[in-house]
Amino acid sequence: MIALAHFILFFGFALALVALYICIQAVKHSKAIFARPYLVILSGITFIIFIHVLEAFLKAVLSGEAYDATFRTPFLYLIILLVPVRLFIAAKAVEVGLLLKQKKPGKWIYAFPAATFILFIIFVLILNFPSELKLKIDITFIYSIHLISMGALIYTGFQFLRASDCTTKDNFKYFRMLGAVLIIFATGNLIFRTLNYPYHRIHEDLQMLGLAIFDVVLMSSQIFLLKNIFSTKHIPEEAAGDIEAVFEKYQITSREKEIIKLICEGKTNKEIAEQLFISPVTVRDHSSNIYRKTEVKNRTQLAALFRKYY
């Protein structure tokens, strides 16, 4: 079982690197408002998988006694390093969820994770407690941090399920699929952590196998879904360099030109409505007409189509 768990974990890490590359390209070439914070989420998850892969590699090449004597304690200390990573993932997940709701996230999204990390430092690293009580405190904090990070991903998943205003009807299915995957991944992780709280009720090898499978499911789906969500429609060669020729080709009206420009600037429907003194519903109707005329699926693809002109 342990050999299978290691293989699946290594495969999951390879998929994570591919998904990370796709998301990096999306940040470079698209104006999607949630692309950059989503890249941070993927980067954080990939880093966590890397730590697990490194641990699995050492367990594979060393005997059990050699690993326990040399590396088990250092890897326990790595949990401290993963604490701010998981909390930062939580903050960025909330940010993505708010952006999908077309709400501007404030600095407050970092307040709760920061406060949690400070409490972790105080109670786990600074204060001294009797050994039995300290063990319970340490385990409770680790479980709570998992709960915060996975809960934030579940929240983001539900926002992807409801993100009809951020995409067209045809492309909404990819948003829904991405949301479902995030919910399944986070819920599965929480189930494993809950079954093991406060003491390990699942064998370590079985836990590694289960988490590795969730990693593979998450990252393989990310590759497929992100490629569809961030896919671009290229501007014809003859129209390049002349935005008016492109507008004429697609029969874009004056109001639609204004909306395209603001979409390329990363504005939400609400912000566009306020700037143009129209209702968000009107903005959504104009956006749908633009998508239909230009044959794109969402504002991400629309921004990719016109970004070189703004």
Under DSSP, is residue 298 helix (H, G, I), strand (E, B) or coil? Answer: strand
CA 62 to CA 53: how far, in whole Å? 14
Q: What is the pLDDT at residue 237?
A: 40
Residues listed for the chain: 310
Cα distance between residue 256 and residue 283, in whole Å: 9
Note the pLDDT of residue 164.
64
Has residue 20 got a pLDDT over 60? Answer: yes
| 91-138 residue pLDDT tens | 999 999 998 887 878 888 999 999 999 999 999 889 989 988 988 888
The one-character DSSP state at 7 is H
Structure tokens that stand for 31 in this block? 């104006």
Integer Cα distance of 154 and 131 in angstroms: 34
Across 7-11, 45-49, 305-309, least confident range: 305-309
User: What's the average model confidence in pLDDT over 208-220?
Assistant: 89
Q: Average pLDDT of the chain?
A: 85
Tokens of 100: 């999908």
Give the integer Cα–Cα distance in Å for 194 and 188. Answer: 10
| Most trustworthy range by pLDDT among 90-94, 269-273, 289-293 | 90-94
Tokens read off for 188:
């599965």
What kind of architecture, by CATH, is found in domain 237-309? Orthogonal Bundle (1.10)
- Residue ranges of the chain that CATH labels 1.20.1070: 2-229
Token code pair at residue 301: 């693809």
Q: Which residues are 298's β-sheet partners?
A: 167
Rounded Cα distance, 23 and 257, in Å: 28
Residue 178 CA to residue 172 CA, distance in Å, equals 10
Closest CA relative to residue 91, chosen from 24, 41, 50, 47: 41
The pLDDT score that the predictor gives to residue 31 is 63
Tokens of 23: 């998301």
More confident residue, 14 or 166: 14
Q: What is the pLDDT of residue 236?
A: 40
Angle formed at CA 108 by CA 105 and CA 111, multiple of 5 degrees: 140
**56/62 Cα distance (integer angstroms):** 10
The mean per-residue pLDDT over the stretch 31-58 comes to: 88
Q: Give the pLDDT mean for 284-292.
A: 92
> What pLDDT was estimated at residue 196?
74
Please tell me the predicted confidence (pLDDT) of residue 99: 86
Q: Higher-confidence residue: 68 or 47?
A: 47
130: which 2 tokens? 């009797």
* CATH class as words, domain 2-229: mainly alpha
Q: Is the pLDDT of residue 235 over 50?
A: no
Structural tokens at position 29: 């070439």
Specify the pLDDT at position 198: 62
CA angle 106, 108, 112 (to 5 degrees): 150
Task: Answer with the residue of higher pLDDT: 204 or 44.
Answer: 44
Across 81-85, 189-193, 233-237, 242-246, which has the greatest mean pLDDT?
Answer: 81-85
Distances (CA, A) of 151 to 40, 121, 214: 17, 22, 16
Cis peptide before 74 (omega within 30 of 0): no
Give the C-alpha separation, 12 to 6, whole Å.
10
Q: What is the DSSP letter of 102?
A: T
Closest among 38, 43, 300 to 152, alpha carbons compared: 38
Q: How far apart are CA 46 and CA 51, in angstroms?
A: 9
pLDDT at 21 over 90: yes
Phi and psi based region of residue 235 (left: phi greater than 0; alpha: psi -120 to 50; beta: remaining):
beta
DSSP-assigned states of every residue in 167-182: B-TTTHHHHHHHHHHH
As beta bridge partners, residue 167 has 298
**H helices of 169-268, where?**
172-195, 204-229, 243-250, 254-264
Please check whether residue 184 is in contact with residue 217, taking contact to mean a CB–CB distance below 8 angstroms.
yes
Which residues belong to CATH 1.10.10.10 in the chain?
Answer: 237-309
Which pLDDT value is given to residue 182? 95
